[in-house]
Structure 1
Amino acid sequence: MTKKMDRRSFLRASGGIAAVATVNANAIPLVGDSLFNDKAEGISASHYGAFKTGVRNSRFEQAIPLEGDHYPSTMIDALPARTYAQDRILYPCVREGYLKNGYKSDKSKRGSDKYVRVSWETAYDLVANEMKRIYKDFGHDAIYGGSYGWFCVGSLNNPQALLGRMLGVAGGYTSRTCTYSTHAIRQITPYITGTDESSAQPTVYPVLIENTECIVFWGADLVNSNQIAWGVPDHEVYGYLKQLKEEAKKRGLKFYIIDPVYNNTGMYFDAEHIQVRPTTDVALMLGMAHYLYSENLYSKDFMHKYTIGFDEFKKYLLGESEDMVAKTPEWAAKICGVDANIIKMLAKEFVSKRTMLMGGWATQRAHHGEQPNWMLITLASMIGQIGLPGGGYACNYHYSGNGVPMPAAATGNTLSNADANAKEYASASPGLSGISVKSKMDGPWKQRKMEVIPVSRIVECLENPGADYNFDGKSYKYPDLKMAYWAGGNPFHHHQDRNRMIEAWQKLDTFVVQDAFWTATARMADIVLPTTLTTERNDITKSQSNAYIFAMKQASKPYGEAMDDFDIFVNILRRFTAEQVLAFTEGKTKMEWVKSFYNASYAKAKKSGVVMPTFDEFWEKGFVYFETPESAKKFIKMEGFRKNPVINRLGTPSGKIEIFSKKIAGYNYKGCKGHPMWFEPMEWLGSKVAKEFPLNLISPHPKYRLHSQLNNTWLRDLEEVQGREPIWINTKDAQKRGIQNGDVVRIFNKRGQVLGGAVVTEAIMEGAVRMQEGAWYDPQVPGKIGSLCVHGDVNVLTPDVGTSELAQGNQATALVEIEKFKGELPEIGIFKAPKIKGI
């Protein structure tokens, strides 16, 4: 066990093509505010942070980090470039074949057909008439409105929420549940601890800094992923990480990173790297658990008092049930690739020191992804430090703001509703809510239904209309979808097995995309509706930490003929009835909606004794800030439960941590039993598939974009290799294949093929390769199934198979082979708008 990389500065951008980059320091404006002859005083916000908008000649040309952003992300610097990108959708467009033949057009032409510019009125008519046809002929569940994505932080102009509201008013639709980020963890953990551990508030950093002796980063890259948030990040977490590192020097705090890759976080903390084979973390944990039990090192008191079902699990651990194989460190070593002596050392280290297991979401995005978090909680229970200052586990420190003391409680405090500490933590911050999918108006459309499918099963749904499937303990039928409407998302990035997806998409009569850019998804659409960006409209939002409410002021006029999502949906509903328009708007203008959101928070604050300015004062200043109470800086996850598990029982049937779940066992699922187990993944380095495809591909979150967002800006130049998404490959694996640093390579398996740029590095273990998700799909032959993606969309290669019958989640790993690309390099075409007729 050796350190693989030298210590790197936390705030220094790394150099060299093979280096792992870290978060930037405060961004320095390229030009002074004085050069902006319009005002540079407006405030807006994004998933990368809040900022002031620099405007010159009525154009948004600079994003200036807000003073409250502690460590601004480089990503906000690219927002002006994105606003005027070459691939911006400027006009409503319709696929040529669809304009001629409507829903009877040749669906195989999606992706390759030309587009025709049309008027907004024509576009509204086409969409509304098709919706009416489908409602009449097939019913409400034939329209899929499960639009998914991170488009906007605004409370009003959230495309997915507005789409659901519009479809609900119009006649109903099929929606989705769960997320691609947390599909397995959010389904399994309520059975174990009574809450969704992907959002449960963890022990705060001030407590860790004072008490923790050992921190384990397990499939988590805090330094990278804390740049972004579903709300608006203020990046306060980086100050705490800096304190944590300084504290380590004072008292010998130990850091481990368990991951196939030595990532940004490992570098920053100079952590010991435990190289584990992808998707084998459960085996590693079982080996530790077996050692703790056999050496009598585990906490009997904690297991007896706070958990249930250990006896059933113990039989499996000792090889007395299921496969009848003892899960010894030696057994685990053969699977996970970590030496048995190191497994024993880690077990002793974790139990002898105050240890925090920081699990991430990476391990659950895999086949049988329900198991890693169940086993992580089981291992933490055996260590016995849950509820103690600085000990235990958490599954979301990598997500922005988690662990930072907040003015308002996180949703995770449902773990212990009676916990006085949690109640105190939930202070009087008023929060902020967005527009609801449900209408307050009375009318016949209120009785229309909404069906739901797991978000990652959309392709399977298209392939098998009417088929039965299991999910979370129940049996369902897939609806027969005829139309899909996507607003503010890019499924032809985030969904798996791209070629299978393209074929399945041909089953739809009509596909509508509402977006600002010609993404791969927009290029597959029949009808394309251009939308405004956040800096081109007014809105309101809050920070992820609940410390701020931001006024999002329009900085520049809409580009081209782009319209606000709100206005698009109003105009579609005008093709239905005036009553339905009223049900959608509730008689309010957009600014009246913004004002109503603020005033609702204002009223809540007043009742709680929190002082807030009036709306006009807030809108003028641009933000409201809420102080964090000292009590929030003392929050310890499950502290109340540990002090009194009877009064502060968990939300499970037993009120305890369920190592064995009778409910799950009663489902009789093949892929998820009553206790955590090692299930062999469909593709891993120990499988038969590895003989043909011997490299295990992993696809973590990118550094210089949010999933696919901002890939159409100059940020991609900071990492790409000859215009291709980089793929990290170990030096030995590269030498075997004659690949050198900077080569363009072809990565392939039976599902597809992509080009990438080789980064030869010791930062990744032998046998594994790393390619970030989010590079835009750019097929060499548009619309053709099996075509080479010349840019590097990793989800061409990943399998679209559910994690198990319980969660039906998605996977982010695959087995592949790599070879040096020979011949003339294809051009990248995805970042320019397609040729459009009528212009």
Structure 2
Amino acid sequence: MSSPETSSLPRSFFQALPDGEVLTASHWGLFYAKTKDGRLVAVRPFEGDRAPSPNLSSLVEHPYSSARIQTPMVRRSYLEKGSASRAGRGADEYVPVSWDKALDLAAGELRRIYETYGPSAVWGRSYGWKSTGSVNNAIALMQRLLSLLGGWVETGNSYSTAAISTILPYAVGGKLFKPTAWPVIKEKTERIVFWGCDPLITNDIDWATTLHQGIAEIRKLKDHPRIRTIAVNPLRPKTADVVGSRWMPVRAGTDAALMLGMMYVLITENRLDRAFLANCVTGWNEMEAYILGTEDGVKKTPEWAEIGCGVPAQQIQSFARELSEHRSMIMFGWGPQRARYGEQPPWMAVALACALGQIGLPGGGIGVSYHYESGGWPVGKGPVLGQIPARPKAVWQSAVPWKGSRAVPVARMADVLACPGKVIDWNGSRIEYPDIRLVFWSGGNPFAHHPDTRALEAAWRRPETVIVTDAFWSATARHADIVLPAATTLERNDISPIGTSTNDGIVFMRQVINPVGEARSDYKIYSELAKRLGLGDAFTEGLDEAGWIQRLYEEAAAAGAAQNAELPAFADFVKNGVHLYAQNPAETRFTAFADFRADPEAHPLRTESGKIVIYSKRIEALHYADAPAHPTWIPPFAADQTSVHGQDAQAQEERKEGLGDWLELVSPKSGARLHSQLNPVTSARSNIAGREPCEMNSVDAAKRGIANGDVVKVSSLRGAILAGAVVTDGVRAGTIVVRHGGWFDPQESSDGAIDANGCANVLTPDDPASALSNGNIASTALVQVEKWRGELLEVRAFNAPHLGK
């Protein structure tokens, strides 16, 4: 429990109530938590939430899950042999130890690694979604400690948006640019295309917390008198079912081919806005030459596109005409870019939007974040709440020279661990992997989000020490040497912004219950580690959790005063629990690229030409075989065509096997969890036959003798999983869906090594999207599916591992 001597408020403001109801927040929204006899018994949504998450109810069970880590743990072989025991990670039993013992061990290893190898030997990126809260931000706290120790190996890009965030700065001068406001959409738009996204699922969560305005706006599209919606996706999204969208089942990884066929129609039927292309776009002539076949001898006709993408040519023609004849907004998702050559679909979508000529017009053009954090909802008028600083100036100065590059692509993490000294190309640079000796992970689960989980498991055994702080026995915690049990959001005090993209206000997160077992808040854990390393004062700056909550709030209040957006006094804010901002009227009229379209010279983009770039001389100068100078159709590894990708050995091997029995896996987000968060408590409701669902078309199921509810084996060249069959016509033939985030549960079966729960990334390849982004390609893989006839393995992922004494 917090000890708020450094806050101006009485201790009672920060204590859990044995019986009562308090307001707090989570990634799924604000809610009231009710306790009885010190136990959480019920939750109800905040009255300002416009579309409360169905996952809120799972939070009642969450802190009491069987997967909860209740005491500090050390892997037995590590306790006995230290780093010489690395081969036992993921298999050893764990021994409970005291907090003093665990913290002393962790601090000792940090000291040894920094003194012996220096900060270039430390992986401190700790990628993941953490838990809501600006003080107990697990990743920021860990990096704050490592910064004081001298730093760590930095990373670039993300698992979510590596390819799109790399290509859009070349194309439009920014990464995930601000989208046109929803009020403008409702007033002007006639056609909305949900391209490669399912916003009713992905808008359920927020990096901080949310009021779900995006979901509310999308639901209003059902039976709208003017707006019609189309969903382009290998599976029929939940969004399409709810709002009545027309579904266009494109083949996975072939969006670029479909868009080329559409642009052929727009060009040959004289539907282009030539004035817009001349004023606002560079490189269109080269793009048009490619589409018409004068560049490579291949006309990108709808008939040509049909062969690649599976959408009938007549539908491609009518789709292009429909968007051209109506004010149309392409709401482009991030799924298509998590694939080989993932830069091409979003760049091609920009080219399509240029061909349609509606960029910068109210309600028209393209947006790339409507599916995330209520993108498009007008930003509130108020200060942005900060977080505890993650990068203070170093106190320790290492005498060991830095080895390797200071930053690496985040999605190459397993390759970095396995291959120190390897040199790769990355967006115009040549980088060398450092030699990682210590991994510190907090607030994330790479054994869910990283591709080719089996290869990750092997690479994970190379560092000398792995330290993990977590509240639950995720697969990452099960592969650690030292495990420090963290409190959940319900078990500590904190503060959070509301709406990462929308900035709707600030919420006080009052502690609901006392920590389960011996769990401690992240702030307490890292403060104790810092103290053991002689960095206690530098880490805490004399403040405890309550003191930091008050500091962050008062810093926001000072910024608000400068913006004429006054915040209430801290005491009043804590008593009320929440402060919501007024809407900024100017934000309700925002149209993306409107100023640029009106006067490109006065409002240039941050691109090489100041205009939208469809042919990039900067990319051309890199001479990457897998990153052409203009948007290009490159057959994905799952296609039965020769790939230009230099690292495509796995694809070549898969083609030798023959494509007759192979299906294309897509791995979208699940509506039952956030990545892997909540999986221990929602699995009972969402799983089929006790494990992750495998959605497949009825034609593919019948061919394999598979019925609804059967346990199936899904395998690729990288590994195999068990899953529960869901036979549906909501997935195109030739495609299966196993949703991302299922917990890794490796076991031995009569048929060899297999994941018993259904972790999709056991199947996916850990290759880079291209040398440009080095993004992950976890959205697609070639797989085989068959009815499982072996023993039904018990799912063990959600229970604590074997504990010794």
**Both proteins in one fold, TM over 0.5:** yes
After TM superposition, the score normalised by the length of structure 2 is: 0.93
Q: CA deviation at 1:686?
A: 5.7
Q: CA deviation at 1:172?
A: 2.0
Match of 1:574 among 503, 512, 531: 531
Which residue number corresponds to residue 246 of structure 2?
A: 272
Does residue 697 in structure 1 map to residue 697 in structure 2? no
1:196-275 alignment to 2 at 5 Å?
196-197=175-176, 200-246=177-223, 248=224, 250-251=225-226, 253-275=227-249
After TM superposition, the score normalised by the length of structure 1 is: 0.89
Q: CA deviation at 1:168?
A: 1.1
Does residue 314 in structure 1 map to residue 291 in structure 2? no
Does residue 586 in structure 1 map to residue 559 in structure 2? no
Are the structure 2 counterparts of residues 690 and 347 from structure 1 closer, same or farther at C-alpha, using a change threshold of 3 Å? farther
Deviations, residues 746-779 of structure 1 (Å, cap 9, x unaligned): 0001110001111111111100011111111111
Are the structure 2 counterparts of residues 824 and 110 from structure 1 closer, same or farther at C-alpha, using a change threshold of 3 Å? same
- Equivalent residue of 1:521, what SS? helix
CA contact (8 A) 1:481 1:508 kept: yes
Distance 1:564 1:746 in 2: 40
Does residue 85 in structure 1 map to residue 65 in structure 2? yes
Match of 2:443 among 488, 493, 512: 488
Deviations, residues 121-170 of structure 1 (Å, cap 9, x unaligned): 11112112212222222221111011011121211111111111101112
Are the structure 2 counterparts of residues 98 and 628 from structure 1 closer, same or farther at C-alpha, using a change threshold of 3 Å? same
Are the structure 2 counterparts of residues 484 and 273 from structure 1 closer, same or farther at C-alpha, using a change threshold of 3 Å? same
Distance 2:357 2:494 in 1: 47
CA contact (8 A) 2:204 2:215 kept: no
Distance 1:518 1:785 in 2: 27
Deviations, residues 267-319 of structure 1 (Å, cap 9, x unaligned): 12222211110000001111111221122211111111101111222222222
CA contact (8 A) 1:790 1:828 kept: yes
Supply the AA of the counterpart residue of 1:555: V
Which residue number corresponds to residue 690 of structure 2?
A: 723
Q: CA deviation at 1:101?
A: 0.7
Are the structure 2 counterparts of residues 402 and 818 from structure 1 closer, same or farther at C-alpha, using a change threshold of 3 Å? same
Does residue 462 in structure 1 map to residue 436 in structure 2? no
Which residue number corresponds to residue 334 of structure 1?
A: 307
Supply the AA of the counterpart residue of 2:154: S
Distance 2:639 2:150 in 1: 45
CA contact (8 A) 1:441 1:586 kept: no
When structure 1 is superposed on structure 2, of 130-139 and 485-494 the one drifting more is 130-139
1:28-67 alignment to 2 at 5 Å?
38-67=18-47
Distance 2:394 2:675 in 1: 37
Which residue number corresponds to residue 117 of structure 2?
A: 138
CA contact (8 A) 1:44 1:550 kept: yes
CA contact (8 A) 1:40 1:52 kept: no
Are the structure 2 counterparts of residues 300 and 559 from structure 1 closer, same or farther at C-alpha, using a change threshold of 3 Å? same
Distance 1:516 1:340 in 2: 52
Deviations, residues 710-747 of structure 1 (Å, cap 9, x unaligned): 0100x223221111111111111011000011111000
Which residue number corresponds to residue 98 of structure 2?
A: 119
Are the structure 2 counterparts of residues 339 and 441 from structure 1 closer, same or farther at C-alpha, using a change threshold of 3 Å? closer
Does residue 791 in structure 1 map to residue 770 in structure 2? no
- Equivalent residue of 1:312, what SS? helix
Does residue 502 in structure 1 map to residue 469 in structure 2? no
Supply the AA of the counterpart residue of 2:434: P
CA contact (8 A) 1:441 1:583 kept: no
Supply the AA of the counterpart residue of 1:128: A
Distance 1:760 1:213 in 2: 34
- Equivalent residue of 1:386, what SS? coil
Deviations, residues 229-269 of structure 1 (Å, cap 9, x unaligned): 112111122332233334x2x23x32211111111111122
Match of 2:139 among 138, 151, 160: 160
Supply the AA of the counterpart residue of 1:319: G
Q: CA deviation at 1:375?
A: 0.4
Does residue 95 in structure 1 map to residue 69 in structure 2? no
Which residue number corresponds to residue 734 of structure 1?
A: 701
1:774-785 alignment to 2 at 5 Å?
774-781=741-748
CA contact (8 A) 1:745 1:757 kept: yes
Which residue number corresponds to residue 510 of structure 2?
A: 553
CA contact (8 A) 1:690 1:815 kept: no
Distance 2:222 2:665 in 1: 31
Supply the AA of the counterpart residue of 1:94: V
CA contact (8 A) 1:466 1:477 kept: yes
Which residue number corresponds to residue 636 of structure 2?
A: 681
Q: CA deviation at 1:692?
A: 6.0
Which residue number corresponds to residue 173 of structure 1?
A: 152
Supply the AA of the counterpart residue of 1:392: G
- Equivalent residue of 1:806, what SS? coil
- Equivalent residue of 1:267, what SS? helix
Which residue number corresponds to residue 10 of structure 2?
A: none
CA contact (8 A) 2:19 2:38 kept: no
- Equivalent residue of 1:609, what SS? coil
Q: CA deviation at 1:446?
A: 13
Distance 1:442 1:147 in 2: 21
**Root-mean-square deviation (Å):** 2.0
* Identical residues among aligned pairs (%): 40
CA contact (8 A) 2:252 2:666 kept: yes
1:622-641 alignment to 2 at 5 Å?
622-641=577-596
CA contact (8 A) 1:48 1:228 kept: yes
Supply the AA of the counterpart residue of 1:804: S
Q: CA deviation at 1:40?
A: 3.3
Q: CA deviation at 1:684?
A: 3.5
Which residue number corresponds to residue 7 of structure 1?
A: none
Are the structure 2 counterparts of residues 145 and 443 from structure 1 closer, same or farther at C-alpha, using a change threshold of 3 Å? closer
- Equivalent residue of 1:303, what SS? helix
Distance 1:104 1:244 in 2: 60
- Equivalent residue of 1:244, what SS? coil
Supply the AA of the counterpart residue of 1:791: N
CA contact (8 A) 2:118 2:398 kept: no
Match of 1:825 among 788, 792, 795: 792
1:336-355 alignment to 2 at 5 Å?
336-355=309-328
- Equivalent residue of 1:152, what SS? coil
Distance 1:447 1:477 in 2: 17
Are the structure 2 counterparts of residues 126 and 232 from structure 1 closer, same or farther at C-alpha, using a change threshold of 3 Å? same
Supply the AA of the counterpart residue of 2:264: H
CA contact (8 A) 2:148 2:393 kept: no
Distance 1:685 1:700 in 2: 23
Are the structure 2 counterparts of residues 704 and 114 from structure 1 closer, same or farther at C-alpha, using a change threshold of 3 Å? same
CA contact (8 A) 1:206 1:240 kept: no
Which residue number corresponds to residue 744 of structure 1?
A: 711
Q: CA deviation at 1:42?
A: 1.8
Deviations, residues 590-631 of structure 1 (Å, cap 9, x unaligned): 211111110011111112222211001101110101110322
4+ aligned runs moved over 6 Å, structure 1: 445-450
Deviations, residues 687-711 of structure 1 (Å, cap 9, x unaligned): 7265265200100000110010001
Are the structure 2 counterparts of residues 693 and 156 from structure 1 closer, same or farther at C-alpha, using a change threshold of 3 Å? farther
Does residue 365 in structure 1 map to residue 365 in structure 2? no
Distance 1:525 1:343 in 2: 51
- Equivalent residue of 2:61, what SS? helix
